[in-house]
């Protein structure tokens, strides 16, 4: 299988090679094979990660998706994020044949996050509420066909406008992360299924991106959609398009924001949420997009979960990720000869 979009990859590869050639030789403790799209490779396999990993005895080796995976390596760990059913079958077959290798993450678990109908179900089932806050999901409706029926479906479900509209399937493309806001019922029939409708929750224009790497948790604030008042809603009509709202350029960490809006969720709540989702999803590498309901201190909504997100945008990601790799079980029992 061939992965498209390799522009600029030669330059990026040379930068990594220069890092690998510099510095003293450290015995290899862990060999990590990676199969990533060119875009993910560029954002994740940065020289600062490769250099730190080398100093810690971690060797990264690019996997060629056009060659048989079992003929490459040997690997202790395989990192992967490539599109398509064909790759899922390849990595699952490899996982079955090589149980000694840690595959991050199992393809069947990853597939669970490719559908927004099932994505948030594990959060909904949690009913997570304690002294540190409540975590829930917005009311959600899945539409797979016949856009003319959407207004009736929305009315029957008792949804309040506006509605957030998202593609049902998440395939890694920019289009699958686009969203729309529908302000009136008549416009709903203009939408193109398959899609998911979520009730919009006012949240002060701030979103919390919760990055999870094994047991490590890092929270970054992003600017998000502003609040919509009842008066504004009466004036607005139609469907408005918003490309990737919470991109890295919209970081809110250094902004002078109202503390009641931007205060981070309490750590015990995040730790419990991350622990429960790791177990239920069967994943180690993911992030959770969460908002705080405006006017509350501790009512939160999870609105998206993403597998192997843009860790390159996470502060100190290279330290967090290399520590995680060295904490994996095989490093405890597998001794490699010095290289």
205 is in an annotated binding site: yes
* Residue labelled with tokens 């686009």: 178
Give pLDDT < 70 ranges for the chain: 1-25, 243-257, 330-339
310 is in an annotated binding site: yes
Burial of 20 (0-12, 13-18, 19+ CB in 10 A): middle
224 is in an annotated binding site: yes
149 is in an annotated binding site: no
208 is in an annotated binding site: yes
Q: What is the pLDDT of residues 226-246, one digit of tens each?
A: 899 988 888 888 888 876 555
* Residue labelled with tokens 């760990």: 77
pLDDT at 258: 73
207 is in an annotated binding site: yes
Helix then strand then coil, % of the chain, to nearest 5: 40, 25, 35
DSSP state string for 203-241: -TTEEEEEEEETTEEEEEEEE-PPP--HHHHHH--SEEE
241 is in an annotated binding site: no
pLDDT at 213: 98
Q: End-to-end CA distance of the chain: give it in Å, rounded.
A: 32
pTM metric for this prediction? 0.87
200 is in an annotated binding site: yes
pLDDT at 177: 78
160 is in an annotated binding site: no
What structural domains and CATH numbers belong to the chain?
A: 30-104 (3.40.50.11370), 112-324 (3.30.470.20)
pLDDT at 256: 62
Question: In whole numbers, what is the pLDDT of the chain averaged over residues?
Answer: 86
40 is in an annotated binding site: yes
pLDDT at 335: 44
Q: What is the pLDDT of residues 110-155, one digit of tens each?
A: 998 999 988 998 898 887 887 789 999 999 999 998 899 999 999 9
98 is in an annotated binding site: no
235 is in an annotated binding site: no
CA 107 from chain centre, in angstroms, equals 15
Quick one: DSSP state of residue 290?
A: E
The alpha-helical segments, DSSP class H, found in the chain are 9-21, 38-44, 47-55, 85-97, 107-111, 116-119, 121-126, 150-157, 230-235, 259-262, 267-281, 317-327, 330-333
180 is in an annotated binding site: no
48 is in an annotated binding site: no
177 is in an annotated binding site: yes
263 is in an annotated binding site: no
């Amino acid at each position: 299988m061939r992965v498209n979009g390799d522009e600029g990859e030669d330059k990026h590869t040379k930068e990594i090679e220069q890092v690998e050639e510099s510095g003293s030789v450290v015995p290899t403790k862990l060999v990590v094979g990676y199969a990533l799209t060119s875009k993910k490779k560029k954002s994740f396999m940065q020289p600062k990660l490769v250099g730190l990993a080398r100093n810690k005895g971690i060797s990264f080796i690019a996997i060629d998706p056009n060659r048989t995976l079992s003929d490459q390596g040997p690997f202790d760990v395989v990192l992967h994020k490539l599109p398509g059913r064909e790759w899922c079958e390849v990595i699952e077959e490899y996982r079955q044949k090589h149980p000694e290798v840690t595959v991050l993450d199992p393809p069947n678990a990853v597939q669970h996050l490719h559908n927004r109908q099932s994505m948030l179900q594990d959060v909904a089932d949690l009913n997570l509420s304690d002294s540190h806050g409540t975590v829930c999901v917005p009311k959600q409706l899945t539409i797979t066909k016949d856009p003319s029926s959407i207004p009736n479906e929305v009315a029957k479900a008792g949804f309040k406008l506006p509605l957030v509209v998202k593609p049902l399937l998440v395939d890694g493309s920019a289009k699958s992360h686009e969203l729309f806001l529908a302000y009136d019922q008549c416009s709903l029939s203009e939408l193109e299924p398959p899609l998911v409708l979520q009730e919009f929750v006012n949240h002060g224009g701030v979103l919390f991106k919760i990055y999870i790497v094994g047991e490590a948790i890092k929270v970054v604030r992003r600017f998000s959609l502003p609040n919509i008042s009842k008066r504004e809603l009466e004036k607005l009509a139609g469907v408005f398009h918003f490309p990737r709202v919470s991109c890295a350029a919209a970081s809110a960490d250094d902004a002078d924001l109202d503390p009641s809006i931007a205060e981070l969720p309490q750590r015990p709540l995040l730790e419990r949420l991350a622990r429960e989702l790791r177990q239920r999803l069967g994943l180690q590498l993911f992030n959770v997009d969460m908002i705080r309901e405006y006017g509350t201190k501790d009512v939160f909504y999870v609105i998206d979960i993403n597998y192997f997100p843009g860790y390159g945008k996470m502060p100190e990601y290279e330290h967090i990720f290399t520590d995680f790799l060295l904490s994996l079980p095989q490093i405890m029992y597998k001794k490699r000869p010095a290289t």
